[in-house]
Amino acid sequence: MRGLLNRIFLVDLFQGLWVTFRNQHPKYIYTEQYPAERPKVAERYRGAPRLNINPDNGETLCISCNLCALACPEALIVVTSERNEATKRKDLTTFTYDTSRCMFCGLCEDACPVDALELTQDFEMATYTREGQIWDRQMLEEGPKPTQYKC
Amino acid sequence: MPDSTFLDSTELVLNMGPQHPSTHGVLRIILKLDGEKVLGTECIIGYLHRGVEKIGENRTYAQFNPYVDRMDYVAAISNGLGYCLAVEKLLNVEAPPRAQCIRVILTELNRIASHLLWLGTHALDIGAITPVFYCLREREEALKIFEKYCGARLTTHAFRIGGLLYETYDGFEQEIRDFCAMFVPKVDEYEELLTNNRIWIGRLKDVGILSADECKEYGVTGPVLRAAGVKWDLRKAQPYSGYEKYDFEIPIRQNGDTYDRYIVRMEEMRQSVRIMQQAVEAIPEGPIMGKVGKVIKPPVGEAYVSIEAPKGELGYYVVSDGSTQPYRLRVRPPSFVNLQALDRMIRGGLVADVVAVVGTLDIVLGEIDR
Ligand code: SF4
Ligand code: SF4
């Protein structure tokens, strides 16, 4: 009997509709208006790579130890250096990082002994060309500069 | 069944996929149809083959870790756990208790996230548009916790061999507690939308039946097996990562049809919340990394570890020849094995039920093709 009444009065459908009705409330709006309203990613977010420089004198922190290149599963980091006879240390010459093959796993960041290489919170890395995905030392130090949209 | 109908029509061979949205990826199913009836199916897989097992042989143990996330990308954390446990077994180390506890919390959260995506897309396939929005809304909360914990939402690379790399962030416990409190009423809400809905019942009841014996024959595991009445859950059967400490139930149902599998998964989400609630109150203090050297070089030998992933039994078999790279790495993905049962489940059914059955198996093609 109950089942029959439930069927006639479409109880199950109204029950479901009540759920959707409850969720109409504006406080349940989750849509992010992306280019205008930018998401705040977490502190540990693994995004665009950055090669840190010493803020005082603008010199790179990288000691050209090549550990990041060895740690990377995709072998996409290439570090070259030359020996500086005056300081008896290796000086970084070039540093390339192919973001198109990177899977942002963070292993290179873990391997770096001086925290020179870091994955940052920048997430907008789209380019128009394939070559644009290969970042050189300058790009890595400055970071991407995405266009900001306001509305 | 007669070869042709009274209209003298012939059988029709139809390709479903690989671009069909309801195949959850790039699965191609060749259907042999007689009108609306399915006479047989054949699955073509491999469109997403990346040779992950072979990649494993050419990477060091630590380097391979991010790749496992890309097999079952919906449940990346479970994959990471399985791989880390396998290598830890090979190395004969164990993660410290604190690491194990955090691992359990995150894996259960990932199980919820995976089931939510399953529920949303499964309902979408069947024609209920609304649940997918709600499911993704709650899944977002889980993904935010992953992002805060390890810096990535989907391909997390959260665990390391021997323990964890990342300590919990400030407010982690509270966020897990809040998530649990928020989530239980939401499951009731989904059930309110679907469980008693007559269309839902009509589309799912007695569709794609797989009996317990057939499940065992095919080696089907996970919720599909439990919906057929077999109480088999590796978290209880061979506890790993300290699952024996938590009090939870294995939900089972008897009929083994699509509706029962739905009920089992809904109940599993509630049980996952229970495990998380117990685990978050009991996170011990201590180190998070076990005694593992910088270079991982396991002794010669082999290890097989299987865990209960959201989709079923996920196994990792690692053979070491004493070098820094695995000699052989084999994955037993649950979706791959479960997909075999598709033909048995759908033969004699209607063509409209194919999407329901594919959805209920909860397959991920990344894991099937590897
Ligand atoms: S994030 Fe991973 S894949 Fe990318 S460069 Fe670093 S180690 Fe290589
Ligand atoms: S590991 Fe760090 S210091 Fe060494 S080469 Fe890479 S970025 Fe430079």
Q: Which two tokens stand for residue B203?
A: 């589309």
Whether A12 contacts chain B with CB within 8 A: yes
Between A151 and B235, the higher pLDDT residue: B235
Q: Is A119 in the pocket of ligand 2 (CB under 6 A)?
A: no
Residue ranges per structural domain of chain A: 49-142
Nearest in space to B70 (alpha carbons), one of A134, A135, A73? A73
Cis peptide before B299 (omega within 30 of 0): no
The pLDDT of B134-162, averaged and rounded, is: 87
The ligand with the least distance to the CA atom of A77 is 1
C-alpha A146/C-alpha B318 separation (Å) is: 44
Residue B120 tokens read as 């949303």
Beta bridge mates, A80? A94
Asked if the model's pLDDT at residue B1 lies above 60, the reply is no
Q: Which CATH number does A49-142 carry?
A: 3.30.70.3270
Q: Determine the CATH number of domain B49-369.
A: 1.10.645.10
B67 vs B202: CA distance, rounded Å: 41
Residue B2 has pLDDT above 60, yes or no: no
A89-98 β-sheet, strand order: A77-84, A89-98, A134-135
- d(CA A52, CA A145) in angstroms, rounded, equals 16
Q: Nearest CA of chain B to the CA of A76: how many Å?
A: 13
Average pLDDT rounded to a whole number, residues B267-293: 86
* Least confident window among A2-11, B90-99, B299-308: A2-11
- Determine the atom of ligand 2 nearest the C-alpha atom of A77: 6
CB count in 10 Å sphere of residue A141? 16
Q: Which of A50, A78, A105 to mutate to test the pocket of ligand 1 (most atoms within 8 A of CB)?
A: A105
Model's pTM, two decimal places?
Answer: 0.86
Give percent of chain B above pLDDT 90.
5
Residue B215 confidence class, pLDDT cut points 50, 70, 90: confident
DSSP secondary structure, B144-191, as one string: HHHHHHHS-SSS---EETTEESSPPPTTHHHHHHHHHHHHHHHHHHHH
Element (H, E) at A117: strand A117-119
Residue type, B55: I
CA of B119 to the centre of ligand 1 (A): 33
Contacts of A28 in chain B (CB under 8 A): 137
With cut-offs at 50, 70 and 90, classify the pLDDT of residue B5. Answer: low
Nearest alpha carbon, ligand 2 atom 7: A117
Residue of B nearest to A71 (CA): B63
Give the model confidence (pLDDT) of B309-367 as tens digits: 888 889 999 998 888 888 988 898 898 888 888 888 888 888 888 888 888 888 888 88
Q: Is A41 in the pocket of ligand 2 (CB under 6 A)?
A: no
Q: What is the pLDDT of residue B160?
A: 86
**Does residue A64 contact residue A81 with C-beta atoms inside 8 Å?**
yes
Q: Is residue A81 within 8 Å of residue A90, measured between CB atoms?
A: yes
B185 has pLDDT over 80: yes
Can you tell me the ipTM of this complex? 0.80
Give the ligand with the smallest distance to the CA of A71.
Answer: 1
Q: Which ligand is nearest to the CA of A117?
A: 2
Q: Where are the alpha helices (DSSP H) in chain A?
A: 2-8, 11-22, 67-71, 107-111, 137-142
pLDDT averaged over every residue in chain B: 86
Contact B318, B87 (CB under 8 A): yes
More confident of the two residues A76 and B19? A76
Q: Which amino acid is at B183?
A: F
| A18 vs B18: CA distance, rounded Å | 37
d(CA B65, CA B38): 41
Determine the distance in angstroms separating the CA of A85 from the nearest CA of chain B, rounded to an integer.
31
Least Cα distance to B236 among B223, B224, B245, B228 occurs for: B245
Q: What is the pLDDT of residues B194-205, one digit of tens each?
A: 887 778 888 888
Q: Which residue has the tokens 């180390």?
A: B93
Nearest to B73 by CA among B161, B131, B188, B152: B152
Q: What are φ and ψ of residue B22, in 5° steps?
A: -85, 0
Q: What is the pLDDT along chain A (151 residues), one digit of tens a residue?
A: 667 777 777 777 777 788 778 878 877 777 888 888 788 888 888 888 888 888 888 778 888 888 888 888 888 888 888 887 777 777 778 888 888 888 888 888 888 888 888 888 888 888 888 888 888 888 888 877 777 777 6
**pLDDT tens-digit series, residues B165-180:** 888 888 888 889 888 8
Domain ranges of chain B: 49-369
- In chain B, what residues touch A105 (CB-CB under 8 Å)? 65-66, 155, 157
